[in-house]
Amino acid sequence: MKAQELETKSAGYYAYAAARDASMRAVAMWSHYTDQERVRAERMKLGLEMVYHAKAIHINPRDKFIAIKVDQPQVRDRKNLALLEKDYELLNITKVLTAQGITYRIPKI
């Protein structure tokens, strides 16, 4: 799976406000997605929890895609990760690398 790299910066001093704003925006954005898309994101999160050891894994709905962020990831199971990413590539799910972690983007149907 090809990975795109982004140079994003940490919110730093305003991290609490940024996290609160992101959670409020997520509540509003879930209304734009079907139950099927929500379940798909939850299942993907469960799969990522099996192959990564991470500080946290967050699901974040956005305008054009659902982002699943793996915060401070460490690969636990490389073999199954490769199989998962091969399946994700067939479903047009992209992988983005940032300083904060890895984000998988599920395109909106």
- Cβ atoms of 59 and 37 within 8 Å: the answer is no
Listed by start position, the domains of the chain span 3-107
The structure's pTM equals: 0.83
Helices (H), 9-95: 15-29, 35-51, 78-90
Does residue 37 have a pLDDT over 90? yes
**pLDDT at residue 24 in the model:** 85
Strands 52-53, 74-75: pairing is antiparallel
Predicted confidence band of residue 27 (pLDDT cuts 50, 70, 90): confident
55-103: per-residue pLDDT in tens? 999 999 999 999 999 999 999 999 999 999 999 999 999 999 988 899 9
